[in-house]
Amino acid sequence: MNQLEQLKQMTTVVADTGDFESMRAYRPQDATTNPSLILKAVQQPEYRPLLDRTLQEYRHCSTAEIIDHLLILFGVKILEIVPGRVSTEVDARLSFDFNGTLDKARQLIALYDAAGIGRERVLIKVASTWEGIRAAAELEKEGIHCNLTLLFSFAQAVACAEAGVKLISPFVGRIYDWYKKESGINYQGSDDPGVQSVVRIYNYYKKFAYQTEVMGASFRNAGEIRALAGCDLLTISPALLQELQQSQEPLVQQLVASAAATLNLSRMEIDEKRFRWEHNQDAMAVEKLSHGIRAFTADTLKLEAMVQGG
């Protein structure tokens, strides 16, 4: 078997793309989207008709409503290809807005419901701010499952687990980027700080029997993926899916739940004060979270400009 096939035997493989053809080619279980991926997709000729269709059908709606309908249209099309779930993101400008996040998540789920898509097939992506995590806790109680994104610190991961969210997405590659820029070191495999972050979170979750799923995300190279083989899920770009598919080398499982359960770890008690303090102590996490929110917001604004320009 090639490495992608081997990986699928130990980890749920998720496509990190808005490209339908890539999903058909690599047959992932789930797919994730974000504003940047949707913006990239609608700029391509083969996906422009989805934007045009949405603009025509909802021309009397507000820009925000049109974008919501566009996101759901992409999600529905994706779910015609993948057998599992699709992740659809709440507007990053709501990252510090508890009530706004709740409202937007409910609106997105209502649109999926109207399209005949069951809640079990949708994950609502929410930024891993304190406000986002608390909103996700409420949404989970309503049966709206959440994918907590832009996750960089251990404090974020602990708070998400305590909140009972369905899934978290630690951003491996963006952590790597920060440490490489700071140190000048081209980290490899298990020495990669992004990989180490996911390993720590995974072991902690399994040790204390949290049900929250860990999905490594934002990879820079296939070595990071190989070092996390065995993680609950990994969301992978088409280029790296292709690289794995083309390799016939044996793939060794690195993360094992039963082994993590035997580790001698201390449990972190977390509340808002502890969360904010611990997160603030991690300079990388503070910088990358704020940068990620700004970047997703910038792409949302570009998408809005496309909608307004027709």
Tens-digit pLDDT profile for the chain (310 aa)? 999 999 999 999 999 999 999 999 999 999 998 989 999 999 999 999 999 999 999 999 999 999 999 999 999 999 999 999 999 999 999 999 999 999 999 999 999 999 999 999 999 999 999 999 999 999 999 999 999 999 999 999 999 999 999 999 999 999 999 999 999 999 999 999 999 999 999 999 999 999 999 999 999 999 999 999 999 999 999 999 999 999 999 999 999 999 999 999 999 999 999 999 999 999 999 999 999 999 999 999 999 999 998 7
DSSP 8-state class, residue 108: H
Considering the entire predicted model, what is its pTM?
0.96
How many residues in the chain?
Answer: 310
- Pairing assessment for the beta strands 30-32 and 122-127 based on DSSP bridges: unpaired
Burial of 140 (0-12, 13-18, 19+ CB in 10 A): middle
CA atoms within 13 A on the CB side of 73: 20
Is the distance from CB of 44 to CB of 28 less than 8 angstroms?
no
Element (H, E) at 86: strand 86-89
Owning domain of residue 288: 3-309
pLDDT score, position 310: 76
Is the distance from CB of 30 to CB of 14 less than 8 angstroms?
yes
DSSP 8-state class, residue 217: B
Is the distance from CB of 126 to CB of 101 less than 8 angstroms?
yes
Catalytic residue status for 206: no
Q: How far is the C-alpha of 100 from the C-alpha of 69, rounded, in Å? A: 18
Which pair of tokens denotes residue 279?
């997160």
pLDDT score, position 265: 97
The catalytically annotated residue of 77, 104, 125, 206 is 125
Beta bridge partners of 174: none
Contacts of 139 (CB under 8 A, 6+ apart): 102, 105, 106, 124, 126, 145, 146
Q: How far is the C-alpha of 192 from the C-alpha of 183, rounded, in Å? A: 12
Q: How many domains does the chain have?
A: 1
The values of phi and psi at residue 308, to 5°, are: -65, -30
Contacts of 243 (CB under 8 A, 6+ apart): 222
Q: What is the CA radius of gyration of the chain?
A: 19
The DSSP line for 165-187 is -SEEEEBHHHHHHHHHHHH----
- Read off the CATH number of the domain in which 151 is found: 3.20.20.70
Contacts of 125 (CB under 8 A, 6+ apart): 32, 34, 87, 88, 89, 90, 146, 147, 148, 149, 169
Q: How far is the C-alpha of 240 from the C-alpha of 54, rounded, in Å? A: 31
Which pair of tokens denotes residue 72?
């759901």
